[in-house]
Amino acid sequence: MQSFNIKIGGSAGEGIKSSGLILARAFTRMGYSVFGYSEYPSLIRGGHNTYQLNVGIEEVFSQVKELDILIALNQETITLHQDELTTDSLVLYNPDHFELPKGKLKGKYLPIAFTKLAEESGGKAIMANIVSLASALALLELPIESLKQAIAKEFADKPKEITALNHSAAKAGEKYILENCKKFIRPVLRPKTKKKQMLLTGNEAAALGAIAGGLQFYSSYPMTPATSIIHYLAGKAKQTGIFVKHVEDEISAVNMAIGASYAGVRSMASTSGGGLCLMAEGLGLAGISETPLVVIDSMRPGPGGGMPTWSGQGDLKFAINISNDESPRIVLAPGDGQECFDLAKLALELAEKYQTLVIILLDKHLSEGDFCVPPFPSMHQNKRYGFVSKLNGKADASFKRYTLTKDGISLRPKLGQSGGVHVNNSYEHDEFGFATEDGDMRVKMADKRMKKMKLFEKEIMPQQIFGNKKAKKGIISFGSNKGPILEAMKNMPDVKFMHLNFVWPFPTAQVKKFTDSVDEIYCLECNATGQLASLIKENVGITPKKVLKYDGRPFYPGEIKIRIHE
């Protein structure tokens, strides 16, 4: 097999995610390409948890539905995932913990006493998961050495005997398969070389991109699925010199970030859709005061509290229009771990360069998915933009912070700079920042701000196009749908795909060129109304066929193929 798929399922508290990550890191160390996908309910305790791995010697892009191996740590896992099993799927379960469900079951069932094997090897019952991971590797005829290395790293801060006992448990799982389940062993192809790569989530990649982009201040109130960004940055704060603030709510988060940016540092805040609602007034302040700001919105199904631990893409138009009236902004939508890094870095530069708001749209699938990426560059030099270097005149002289310029960008003084006195508030203002209700000045200032949209258009990077250039069926999508579509296209030679990661200002010319090259155009997105499709209609003048999914789950490659070809 060139690729294979493994899922671990069980109850919350059984270490499903950590076990899956250990196995993912083991495969990464062997040189495989890996994508990891987790599901869990929004409960304080309990509920069904899963972690799924798609592993291949060639690049893999997303989770797939059909499983080669299912590790079932409880009976519910077998019951709930029957539709993902084939007649050849291997199901590993512990017969000492539960009986198989009654009725006809798909797959081949291997009873393995995970807990007993862990205890007989000198370990504890909690190490049964390690036995199951080693059993899965043995069934693929893969050595457990990389698993042992991943275990050592996972427990590096624990006493050495913990690592040794887990290694013994892994050896017990491997030995059991080799001695008792030889007929079920299915050798897989091994990578010829071990490429340098990292395994990290979209949130971690975005955090690293922000660090690379010169982030100096970060504020956030925890909100799934954006929460791990603040966790990651807090762990790097001392090393990087970034001020990381866990605030009391999203209103404080956005206003603190605006204040820090006004003081002259590169600032970012993050949240999910419900928190973005609370930030709306603050984003209006950033807009009228022309204060650079980056906000990450990791989308989830809504409205209201919605489904906190599931995925959706319903905030697209909200991000484009958030806050009262109109103000310029850039909206970016990365599609994988590499783009999370690149676009977070770019966002901080663009925000400062144009003194504007930049919103980065992630979602749960992207934020918490585990991606294999090559090592990011370690050295970064960040050019600063828009600060006046020297001011002549008296120390308390007034400064035209909002000078009416040709391109709409005015220089700004650093906080406390001699001769840089001006007013900065949320009211319409004149060139010095003084509040005004003069109609002519209002029009001049509104025009000044909106001039930047033309500049933003020059920053739109070439949007990627994948697949057969001559294909007459085309797909357009954005964000995390990139992975499932690319995975589906491995079996769709008659289709090409345009991935949008710069969604506002809308890349009209590029989209029109793509749509003109095909006879059928499909728009895939995870919302109920087809928000991207309506943007295409508004800006390009065509109506694509909508392929929508809004059950909180990401697209699976198989269903994309069916829905495009049906």
Q: Which residue ranges form the domains of the chain, and what is each CATH number?
A: 3-184 (3.40.920.10), 199-373 (3.40.50.970), 463-565 (3.40.50.920)
Tens of pLDDT along 69-104?
999 999 999 999 999 999 999 999 999 999 999 999
pTM value?
0.96
pLDDT at residue 566 above 80?
Answer: no
In 364-408, DSSP assigns E strands to 370-373
CB under 8 Å to 134, separation ≥6 — which residues? 144, 147, 169, 170, 171, 172, 173, 174, 177
Q: What number is the average pLDDT over the span 132-156?
A: 96
Rounded Cα–Cα distance for residues 512 and 515 (Å): 5
How far is Cα 61 from Cα 35, in angstroms, rounded to an integer? 6
Give the C-alpha separation, 250 to 278, whole Å. 6
pLDDT band at 369 (very low <50, low <70, confident <90, very high): very high
- Res. 5: pLDDT tops 80: yes
Rounded average pLDDT over 159-186: 96
Report whether 97 contacts 139 (CB < 8 A): no
Tens-digit pLDDT profile for residues 202-257: 999 999 999 999 999 999 999 999 999 999 999 999 999 999 999 999 999 999 99
Inter-residue contact 310 to 300 (CB < 8 Å)? yes
| Residue 104 CB contacts under 8 Å (≥ 6 apart), including other chains | none
Residue 1: the pLDDT is 67
Residue 110's CB is within 10 A of a number of other CB atoms, namely 18
- Position 179 confidence tier, pLDDT thresholds 50, 70, 90: very high
Mean pLDDT, the chain, whole residue set: 96
Kindly indicate the confidence band of residue 394, based on its pLDDT and cuts at 50, 70 and 90.
confident
